[in-house]
Amino acid sequence: MAVLSLLLENGADPNIQEGMYGTALRAMAGLHAPNSYKIEGLRLLLDHGADVNAEGGVDGHALVAATATRGLPGSRASNVAVVNLLLEHGADANASEKPHPIPLHAAILAEDVEILKTLLRARADHDLRVEGKTTPLEYARIMGMETMVIHLQDEVLREVTARTLPYDSTNEPGIRYKGSTWKAEEIEDMDEDSRDNMAGSQREQEQEPEILRMEKERLEIERNEREAEERYQAKRKARREKAARKEVDPIAQDER
């Protein structure tokens, strides 16, 4: 890090594009190294004018590189602290550059729930479709990543009544009511009558958009179909195992 600091202090341009990693910021964000090391390097670069949204390199943007990368090789340590730092310095949560993935796609591929939730709090668009590609929700379904699907579906449903605060890594999602933002713990502390009154007034102020109502119905149908398929497969497996124990052809057993 001393070498990087020396170069920057002597006028090195942090935004020069070079090689497969593009800028120094993108290279540092995607480095397989402890988060503390990367954060120190990123702060140095950002303090010396590195463009947090510069495009280039194999990942396109520093935020995508940070989202797609774990810590040390073989580690499952999340890069969420690095992602937070970039967002706090103005990184675009919906950054896209053909043919690279957007940050949400990268988080899904990395199976990093914490980064996924961090990006959603930073107003990442779960319905964004770039250059004809799948939306993040569609992509998670195609990849069979059920945990990611659940979190994205929850975000779709939350949009009916919830709003996120202006991005800050210390903030959690809040609920807008009569021009004020209520944190979840504040709502939990209310008595039942107060919560009911708040919910009723909010419903009067903001009717559920038709498209979100339809999305809720579609998600419920998909959930029911998935559960029915799981029950069918479980019964089919049980019949085959029973047939195998009796040394009977399982196909013939099914046909009976």
Per-residue pLDDT tens digits for 61-82: 889 888 887 554 545 556 888 8
pLDDT reported for residue 134 = 80
Q: Give the pLDDT confidence of 196-236 residue by residue, as tens digits.
A: 555 554 444 444 455 555 666 677 777 777 788 888 888 88
pLDDT reported for residue 160 = 42
Quick one: three-class SS letters along the chain? CHHHHHHHHCCCCCCCCCHHHCCHHHHHHCCCCCHHHHHHHHHHHHHCCCCCCCCECCCECHHHHHHHCCCCCCCCCCCHHHHHHHHHCCCCCCCCCCCCCCHHHHHHHCCCHHHHHHHHHCCCCCCCCCCCCCCHHHHHHHCCCHHHHHHHHHHHHHCCCEECCCCCCCCCCEEEECCEEEEHHHHHHCCHHHHHHHHHHHHHHCCCCHHHHHHHHHHHHHHHHHHHHHHHHHHHHHHHHHHHHCCCCHHHHHHC
Which amino acid makes up residue 160?
Answer: V
Is 34 in contact with 71 (CB distance < 8 Å)?
yes
Q: What is the mean pLDDT of residues 164-171?
A: 40
Q: Which of 33-47, 149-163, 203-217, 224-238 has the lowest mean pLDDT?
A: 203-217
Q: Residue 73 has which token pair?
A: 């090789």
CATH superfamily of this structure's domain 1-126: Ankyrin repeat-containing domain (1.25.40.20)
For 176, phi and psi rounded to 5 degrees? -80, 130
Report which of 149, 181, 151, 146 is spatially closest to residue 165, judged by C-alpha positions.
Answer: 181
Q: What is the mean pLDDT of residues 157-161?
A: 52
Query: Which residues are CB-contacts of 223 (< 8 A; sequence separation ≥ 6)?
Result: none
Which amino acid makes up residue 107?
Answer: A
Domain boundaries, the chain: 1-126
Which amino acid makes up residue 226?
Answer: R
Query: Which residues are CB-contacts of 158 (< 8 A; sequence separation ≥ 6)?
Result: 173
Is 91 in contact with 124 (CB distance < 8 Å)?
no
Give the span between the Cα atoms of 138 and 96, in whole angstroms: 17
With tokens 């690279």, the residue in question is 100
Give the span between the Cα atoms of 211 and 105, in whole angstroms: 23
Q: Which residues on neighbouring strands pair with residue 104, listed in sequence order?
A: none
